[in-house]
Structure 1
């Protein structure tokens, strides 16, 4: 598809979204708080399609996620806080800023160094919450929350990469499944237990950073 065809397709989706917002009773009633749960659900459905390697399903789910972006951008536009063009330009500028090894003079050795630079650049951007765990959403699912805390804490050093990622993927899945099974037998909520462990981990890391 050419650039012109892509632009036209996005324009048609924008037109349709505006019509739904104006004419559909359900769409007229929505706001950010009512729409975001659907956005999260669509993101999980996209992740499921990606994990399954189902390209046709990915195409479908990507469309659903894109509609969420267009709809939420329209809500911003309605109150003069932004629009789809500003959303696209903002993320473009942000990606340029966070890839100095592409758009600047910075040199990197590998993907781990890219990630470390990304975290450092992001932490120093205006308006960002300070600290190792600044802007880690508390409402992430417990597993994602734990992973993000660990990645932030370890961003100063390279992480080992498994030689066989497929085997590692299955091994980690089995480990998590067995952990949930153990929690069930002990009558412990695994979500709450992991959140508690993440909170202890965060407190320990922050206490260590404060004494450095």
Structure 2
């Protein structure tokens, strides 16, 4: 597809969105939406893009990227209706930002490798925040609070690591994870879970934070790791249901020992295949 074709299709999408939001004859559902009601769909579509990438399904990726683009167009249309900004402003903003943050491409700066590109990127972001009058000089400044918490944890840790506050490698992080797990166990062993919920939540948070740190040290994608675990659980659980059905039973009719046996069968079938 040529650049002109892309511009034509984007213009068509913008026109469709404007029609859907037309107070005179637009779609009732679309007209009821605002930024806060659309935001969850925006997040969901981004995850569906990631899922299509994980599965290596390029046809589905094309479809999901379209859904994600629609979210940008939807937000821009609502902003335009309020006189705040339009889609062209969104595109101009990211165009200007990409040129500004790649001076080694669009200006006379140099960057020898990807690591240097990232250092320059962070430095330019700091200059941009200063130009906006932001006074937070912390190494943690500018990390969005709107990120999924696991992703924010990794960004916080990465920023701290840039000033030397970091573990020397993954093995000490594993030791710390074992320590946090023991502390969580001790809180559970105190007995009354309901009365001790605040402490349990705090200790669980510490453990998850260390797990995020472990993923960062091992250069692993924590989101992809969790998605993989979810897919594995779903696959095996469905296999359990199917095997139980072959015996004319529903999984809920079986006791835990019988269910565990089906789980082990599902694991063994995966290993064999």
Shared fold (TM-score, shorter chain, > 0.5): yes
Are 1:142 and 2:142 an aligned pair?
no
1:108-132 CA-to-partner distances (Å, cap 9, x unmatched) read: 1110110011011001112274321
1:191 is displaced (CA, Å) by 9.9
Report the number of matched residues: 177
Q: Is the 8 A contact 1:138 1:145 kept in 2?
A: yes
Q: Using the TM superposition, name which of 143-152 and 111-120 deviates more.
A: 143-152
1:193 to 180, 205, 208: 205
Please name the residue that 2:132 is paired with: 127
1:137 is displaced (CA, Å) by 2.0
Please name the residue that 2:99 is paired with: 96
1:105 is displaced (CA, Å) by 1.3
Please name the residue that 1:51 is paired with: 54
TM (normalized to structure 2)?
Answer: 0.58
Q: Is the 8 A contact 1:143 1:194 kept in 2?
A: no
1:132-180 CA-to-partner distances (Å, cap 9, x unmatched) read: 12221224222201111122233468xxxxxxxxxxxxxxxxx9xx99x
* RMSD over aligned Cα atoms: 2.9
Q: Is the 8 A contact 2:139 2:159 kept in 1?
A: yes
1:73-127 CA-to-partner distances (Å, cap 9, x unmatched) read: 1111111111011110110001100001101111111101100110110011122
Distance 1:195 1:15 in 2: 49
Whose relative contact order is higher, 1 or 2, with alpha carbons under 8 Å and at least 6 apart? 1
TM (normalized to structure 1)?
Answer: 0.74
Q: Which runs of 5+ in 2 are unaligned?
A: 165-173, 189-199, 214-273
Distance 1:189 1:52 in 2: 33
2:45 to 42, 47, 50: 42
Please name the residue that 1:161 is paired with: none
Please name the residue that 1:17 is paired with: 17
1:30-57 CA-to-partner distances (Å, cap 9, x unmatched) read: 1111111110011011111112221011
- After TM superposition, the runs of 4+ consecutive aligned structure 1 residues lying more than 4 A away are 185-192, 194-198
Larger Rg: 2
Distance 1:117 1:7, change over 3 A: same
Q: Which runs of 5+ in 1 are unaligned?
A: 158-174, 202-212
